[in-house]
Structure 1
């Protein structure tokens, strides 16, 4: 335990002293996870604090914003090549008023100048992803004791303005649900209209009449109808569909 504590202090010192990071800029990823009609978001819990945050990090001088977001996503899930979109920049003056970095530094007994960039205002760029949360392992870092999935309507106490980031990310996901669902690989290559409707209802938080949903989805011309699914039951066999690649 003492070894982990010392390692955390050394990691924090390296971060504070680093000359390879862009000051006052970060990326935060709202990694939404779906499975069995439940929508969750990936959160980290800080050591010795009853506060949670989104997976995020600072940006290296020689790194694109998108590269930084991809790196954060990989560090927390060990998944590569996932669909990831930038959805908003967060720059309110008071967004880092409850500065967790300052609390962590004080708890570790480190001496940091008051004008150090890590203690100042931060602007963060939000990225959004949608995955099957059962397919991803989760990995905390040196500053966090856990990395776990939480239902989007049952969030714990969040650090910074990350409750707002999650709300904005969810709104973006809902407004762009057709693109997000098609690119997320949440469904098998061939799926029924019922499968797709359940996914939409979970993300949007509302129920649809079957006929109305099917009419709306088919009007987008994003699906190709395949063969029927015969499962041996007495019910009418539903058609299978797949997304048309664009």
Structure 2
């Protein structure tokens, strides 16, 4: 299917690694010019270079989304190559080890700042021009913990509920404008950086020695779903790319869960 993304430009925040990098690659493969965002120049440039080697159009915008000045710099850099038609607010932080007792008010505020307020900063800087042009896409990356919170990392779950709410509120604000706003609520995402950590958890719990042995046990015990495994980045990126395309005109104000049918086994 041609997603009709040739001629569109997309900024993906937090795209120098992990899911953000995969989203950038998918958008570029469909013909969109992409802006890779990160705070580390070498990592962001490496992703952009890889996109170019694959025949895509990529530039880099560096900056810290936790400040207004940083957001100004990122937006200005992203706009140097032309209008931004697609904004994917992917940047975020989480720490599965945090608990109610161990999470300070400062950590709550810091998590909300990067996971929610940073998205608002980029919306305010880029979406008015989308509305003026009569077309645009905004996609928030959130988590199923926004509606299925666990006892651990309550600040993260709360921030994801806010991300979903932000997407719905923005859709109401942009009604009849040609700009849509949606959220993708992710379940587990198996990125390379997490495999060693997860294998360690599996071995500690006696679920096996190899990743192939550990994955189904890990999922069944910690986050059971109907598929029986953790989601791969390309499975999320494919949906984000569709939502970013003109093919998704009739999807607006929605939070789409991508979690293998995650259910509460308690």
Task: Point out which structure has higher relative CO (alpha carbons under 8 A, 6+ apart).
Answer: 1
Q: Return the TM-score normalized by structure 2.
A: 0.23
Bigger proportion of residues as helix: 2
Q: Return the TM-score normalized by structure 1.
A: 0.24
Bigger proportion of residues as strand: 1
Pick the structure with greater CA Rg: 1
